[in-house]
Chain A
Amino acid sequence: MDSDTPVISAENVWKLFGPSPEAYLSRMPAGRSFEEIRSDGYIAGVKDVSLEVAKGEMLVIMGLSGSGKSTLVRCFSRLHDITGGAVRIDGQDIMSLNATELIELRRSKMGMVFQSFGLLPHRTVLENVAFPLEMRGQDRHARRERALEMVRLVGLEGREDYFPRELSGGQQQRVGIARSLAIEPNIWFLDEPFSALDPLIRREMQDEFLRLQDMLGKTIVFITHDFDEALRLADRIAIMKDGAVEQVDTPDKIVLDPATEYVAKFTEEVDKASVVHASVLASDGVPVDGEPVPGDATILSLARRLVEDRSDAIPVSLPDGRTGAMDRKAALAVLFGERE
């Protein structure tokens, strides 16, 4: 496998819920809307989604409740058999895997954190975390060591022998996270993994998460309702509505250039200045005088310079080493939250 094969690739993926979805999909006229499909008695959980996730990339999926985020992720892990299209993991079409291969794939490559935790009620914290290891037949000692390590990682040491019902929601969620990490997955699916955590721990977990990501370079699909969280973590953001992906782009682009009304509504409340980076507003190749600002500085952090500098363009040092020019008016517009 060469390194630019996307780790996850979805091609016109459909997931319909209803009495006989395959038959319906094959005779359904193209371009039927979500509402029309619903009036035919089907729910389009995922509607014609195509996207790719590169190795080491973190894709965040956002969207209103019921927009199909969890369903899409379930399609990636084949917890749902998709109705149409194809999902490839490392170039391998997962719908073509037989049961054994699928189990092998999950045992070796995938980890998943569930929105509602999915802890086994009859097992202790430690046993829950060790569960995937046990399933793949690791010996007792090794899996205990590994599980203890994971429990410590999520900050639950001292509670190894508790049962899920003895834990708070946030603690249960952390058990779920530890469990999903136990097998050292390459691909990590996280369905609102931090939703039940208090702000402090949440922040801590996010930092921990970023550190891990830096260290391990996992491919991650992350669902959240929290835009700040998305911005903090995401390489790219996918916004979903009624099963379809409205836009997939970097956070800056989503904020600056929303593809649809719905996406715009989504980003309305966001303080754009703190999201957009200088490099995004810089045009290439035009030499400008002055001290260049760093490309990964947010507009907000450049506020003083933007206001005090009188020139039309401000030099920006781009990631590739060259220098670009940032239109100061445009940057000011972002800073003051004006719409162009």
Chain B
Amino acid sequence: MKKLSAMVLATALATPVVATAADSEDPIIIPIHNWSSQIVMSHVVGQMYEEMGLNVEFVTTDSQAVYESVRLGDVALELEVWEGAFGHSFREALSKGGLHDAGDHDAVTREDWWYPMWTKDACPGLPNWQALNDCAEIFATAESGGKGRYLDGPVDWLKHGKERVEALGMNFVVVNAGSAAALWAEIGAAEPDMRPVVVFNWTPNFAEAVWPGEFVEFPTWEDGCDSDPAKGPNPDALYDCGNPADGYLKKAAWDGMPDKWPSAYCVLTKLSFTNPQIAEMAKFVDIDELEPEEAADEWLAANRDIVDPWIGSCT
């Protein structure tokens, strides 16, 4: 706060025309990626900013490379930092400097092995992981050599499917999909004849609404399961637990944002969405086929009571 007022003073002295510490006229650049909830959420926040009289622009970017752009100030913020998929990129960028943590959403994220409901018919012991392991052969494909096949997320999300299979001695081979779309295609292909599949999935996302399903229950996550072999059932291996069932969903901001757009930054730190809210945003686009801008309109109209206090407390 001290820094802020110092800056206000400096601005006031340097440019006497500007009487108050208003936010910059420059557009706030908000990155959007290629999944619906993030796009709609970005538009919701963008429209809030516009209501505050700020300029906003959106730019489509890769969801990993975006942290480099936040660091450099090319985009001002990032609204969905998933612990599992982007935590690594985020932490790397954090250590290089230039961006910082702008608080968590209320929503928790979970990313883990998942199956669509129809799989349960073929393997009734689910969601227990040992039961899954016992029916490994129903997940076998031509290439898996008799073992079950688990389709893991893209490698850049740094999941540790292989390690877990080894640590828990599971009868599975792990194949990495190259993209989220590839995962959906695999589930979509299994749907017509209800072929059992087990794939990487996460919540909140649109797939829940399209394909009802469940996460596999692995030994519960303990802190240090990924760094201390002693944790978890297998005393000699890392990654012998399920992923945390309550991963964070963060906001990140460029270090220059508080100075350049103080009230926008204030709103960013205040705002927080919950799992149902995020799911609703995604649903507008994925199920109701609205454009993201329209979806943001609808969502805002229905949730004024939530957003107005955020805006009010910052202007």
Let me know if chains A and B touch directly in the complex, using CB atoms closer than 8 Å. Answer: no
Give the A-binding residues of B (Cβ under 8 A). Answer: none
